[in-house]
Amino acid sequence: MDVGEKGQPAEFGFGWGRFEKSRGGPNYAWMRNHLEADLWVSLASGDAADFEIRVAAFYTPQRRQTLGLYVNDRFIAEWVFPHVDGFSFECFEAVIPEGVLTPGRNRITLRAGYTAGRGHAVAVDWLRVKSRQPSASATVAQAAAEASERR
C-alpha cells in the first residue's frame, strides 16, 4: 500500500498531515502535530503477518527519532532511526503474531518519539501487511507436487 497515493484501500485516521511528493521521488504522508497516527486497513484473514514499512524521520541534531508499531492496540515493535544528514527513507520490518489481526477492519497505529520543525515527526512512503500463511492454491499445488514425487 503506497500511503501517498490516492485511492488506496486504507482509511487515514487521527494524526496525519498533508500528503507530499518529492521531486522524482516517492509520494508520502507526514505524521504531523501529534506523536501518533492511525491507519485503518481491511484484511481477508487474521493470520500472523509480515509487516514492512518505508519511512523517513524529521531529525533534530540532538535526538534520534523512534517509531513504535501497534496493531489493534497491541505493541508489536519499535525501531530507532539511524542518524543521517538530510531526508532519507529507511525500511523496517516486524512480525505481527497470530491472534492480533482480525478478518475485516484493523487499526495500525504508529507512534513517534518527537515532533519538530512545523510539527513533523515521520514521513510514511508505503507499508505492507502480508499473511505468513501460504495461500490455499499454493498449499494445494505443493500437496500435489509432493504426492507426485511419492509415486
Cα 22 to Cα 39: distance, rounded to the nearest angstrom: 22
Owning domain of residue 116 = 10-150
Check which CATH number belongs to the domain holding 90 and give it.
2.60.120.260
pLDDT digits (tens, 9 = 90+) for 78-127: 999 988 777 789 999 999 999 999 999 999 999 999 988 788 899 998 88
Residue 2 lies in a domain: no
pLDDT digits (tens, 9 = 90+) for 59-82: 777 788 999 999 999 999 999 998
Cα 37 to Cα 70: distance, rounded to the nearest angstrom: 10
Residue 28 lies in a domain: yes
Cα 39 to Cα 15: distance, rounded to the nearest angstrom: 9
How many domains does one find in the chain?
1
Helix (H, G, I), strand (E, B), or coil: what is residue 143? helix
